[in-house]
Amino acid sequence: MKELVTKYKSVIKFILTFLLVYGTLTFAYKFYLDSANFNNHPDYLTHLVAKQTDVLLENLGYDSAIQKHPDEPSMKLIINNKYVARVVEGCNSISVLILFGSFVIAFAGKFKTTFLYILAGSVLLYVVNLFRIVILSIGLYHYPWRSEELHTVIFPLIIYGMVFLLWMFWVNRFSNLTRVDD
């Protein structure tokens, strides 16, 4: 058993570090959501994402608006007076950023490089997420009968595909990865 632990030390370290960082950040974020009194309003970042989506849609020539949803902590996204989507807490990309950062930390390189990569990657993921919501909203406006495919297949593929590409770039370029030989 000791031989296996020694042989796969880097794999075990990665898994334990990832789980510790991911669990801690997820717990902290959930604590923030549960302890803050939003009075049936969306959290700050969800509201910000909705506002920024509205601005991007306006800049693309759509008459868009956001409104507080009357029954839940989300924002209604309206294009040309047509309610097309809700921007909910899951749309703000925080859970994706936690996943991304946890992986990078688990494969950490030098502190400064790791910090800057997480910062730059998080900004990129945030922006990609905004454009993902904009494209999804336009798609839902023009092709509402494709909502299932758009929301559950195409658009998760965009954000998680970007996370995967950033991870691969990190591992191959910057991490202090120790290869395990068979």
**pLDDT tens digits for 115-171?**
999 999 999 999 999 999 999 999 999 998 988 888 888 888 989 999 999 999 998
Task: State whether the Cα torsion 50-91-24-161 is positive or negative.
Answer: negative
Mean of the per-residue pLDDT values of the chain: 89
DSSP string, 16-65: HHHHHHHHHHHHHHHHHHHHS--TTS--HHHHHHHHHHHHHHHHTT--EE
Tell me, what's the pLDDT at 163?
96
Where does residue 91 rank: exposed (0-12), middle (13-18), buried (19+ CB within 10 A)? buried
Q: Which of 178 and 71 is assigned the larger pLDDT?
A: 71
d(CA 110, CA 145): 48
Strands, E assignment, the chain: 64-68, 75-79, 82-87
Residue 8 has pLDDT above 80, yes or no: yes
Tell me, what's the pLDDT at 180?
45
Residue 22 has pLDDT above 60, yes or no: yes
Say what percent of the chain tops pLDDT 90: 63
